[in-house]
Chain A
Amino acid sequence: MNQQEKQTYFTKFNNQLHILGRITLGVGVILMLAAPFVIGILLDAAPSLNGFLKGIARVAVIYVPVGIVEFLVYAPMLGAGGSYLSFITGNVTNLKIPCAMNARDIAKTEVGTPENEIISTLSVATSSLVTMLVLFIGVLLLVPLRPILENPVLTPAFDTVVPALFGALGLKYFTKAPKIAIVPLAVMTLLCILVPAAISQTSLLLIPAGGLALGIGYLLYKKGRL
């Protein structure tokens, strides 16, 4: 197959991949959206519309921009097949991108070539399947451990899962960008000490805290101090 034939074949293949990707991604989204409702019917407790609207309004402010930026930055790195799979299987930044980069390095393919796209898709598909297999085996092994996990002695552990996450993440990100961290951390701490009523609204505080950190980060970046 000469270069011209290769390009023509690959363009046709890529077009098919887009059609397949759109169909499967669309069906996948419908299934994921249906799951809470089906579970709700089975357990006789449908999702609350009021709770959903309140929750999604707070979540969307933070995560809609994050999702769009991830798409704009990572889609060109992953190519068509890699993108359709990565954006439905998740763990894009921490797993799929480094995994695809590693596979490309090993295969020694060049950016923008059909070979590069094929390797990315193979890499992301394999990575997703391995993760799902490991989780499946893990979940099977967890079934007999259920009585232990449901033991009331462990309740404090699961009730503090969020503080445990943000303690660990806090250290990781504060040490990565201490200049950005000082002001938001001081402001949020003072606010919660002086206005204790704000503590129950932490999910709302995330928005100004994120905005403040982004603003400070941008100023420092513009001044070349990051």
Chain B
Amino acid sequence: MDFLSQANSLPVYLICGGVLLFIVIMCVIFLVKSYRAGLKIGMDPKVLKRAITSSATFTLLPSVSILLGVIALGGTLGVPVSWLRLSVIGALQYELNVAEIAATSMGLSGLRLSEMNVSVFTTIMLVMTVGILSGVFCTLFGLKKYLGKMAAKSKTETKPTEKSRPGFGAYATIAMFVGLCSAYIGSYIGTFTSSGDYLPLTVALISAAAMGVFQYFTVKKKQAWLENFDIATSMFVGMAAAVLINLAV
């Protein structure tokens, strides 16, 4: 049995589905308890229902985008593990970056289906899971204390009268992503100049061009809803180009 057939086998679906079922139960318990508590403190049931329906509709489009991520990741890690990873902690950017790092740490040239085997697959899965746990551990062991401190602080603080400049935190994530993208793009240019392999660079450029089209419509034409699809669709354009280039040469 080849690797992808093993990664897409029924037992793997059942294991991933079992973990997700637990998280579904967790969400339902929190939902029901909070709804009842809202009624108990005198909140209008209409307001509570509106919060639920508006959140459901708000989530629909981004969820379709996450589903596209499952397809993108599913080609190398199989559908069930991609389904699990994109339903729990993290996001597509994190999962792909970490899968790539884990794959190269195992001696692969990258996250390539042609080089994958089951041992690499389970190791990648473990690295993906452990690598994102810092926020969860903070929540698990420090949330109650931290929220208590923040509540006490907000009671003693007076509200600022003028709008202050946002902190560096707002720029730190952007800077971090700029750094990650620089390293990858630099490596694609280096791959092209050193070995003549133009495919990674070409795919990156085509995805970037597709993202440029999205940026035009979301920023210039104010079609903000398109932002839900910008990354996943741009990726698919680049990946489709890879197939066409491979067929053409």
Contacts and interface: CB of A to CB of B under 8 A. Distances in A.
| Binding between chains A and B | yes
A175 to B, nearest CB: 7
A117 B34 CA distance: 9
Nearest to B107: A51
B23 A89 contact: yes
Nearest to A96: B59
Given A35-B16, A169-B93, A180 B178 contact: yes
Contact of A20 (B15, B33, B237): B33
Residue with the highest number of chain B CB atoms closer than 10 Å, among A40, A47, A94, A216 = A47
Nearest to B80: A139
B181 A174 contact: yes
A78 to B, nearest CB: 10
Residue with the highest number of chain B CB atoms closer than 10 Å, among A39, A167, A203 = A167
Contact of A155 (B8, B113, B119): B113
B55 A118 contact: no
Contact of A75 (B29, B79, B109, B147): B147
A135 B174 contact: no
A63 B190 contact: no
B114 to A, nearest CB: 6
A89 B37 CA distance: 23
Interface residues of A, number: 160
A193 B174 CA distance: 25
Contacts of B125: 35-36, 39, 47
A24 B220 CA distance: 44
Interface residues of B, number: 167
B199 A173 contact: no
Given A129-B31, A130-B60, A70 B126 contact: no
Contacts of A75: 138-139, 143, 146-147, 150
B185 A167 contact: yes
Contacts of B37: 9-10, 13, 114, 118
B123 A205 contact: no
B91 A88 contact: no
Contacts of A54: 105-106
A76 B150 contact: yes
Contact of B204 (A36, A84, A99, A170): A170
Interface string B100-129: 111011110111111001111111111101
Contact of A173 (B130, B181, B212): B181
B51 A122 contact: yes
A135 B33 contact: no
Contacts of B126: 33, 36-37, 47, 52
Contacts of A149: 71, 74-75, 79
Interface in A10-53: 10, 13, 16-18, 20-22, 24-29, 31-33, 35-40, 42-48, 51-52
A103 B59 CA distance: 11
B51 to A, nearest CB: 4
16 contacts: A9-B37, A35-B15, A35-B129, A52-B127, A62-B176, A68-B138, A75-B138, A80-B147, A118-B37, A146-B79, A160-B239, A162-B97, A189-B185, A189-B186, A209-B179, A209-B183
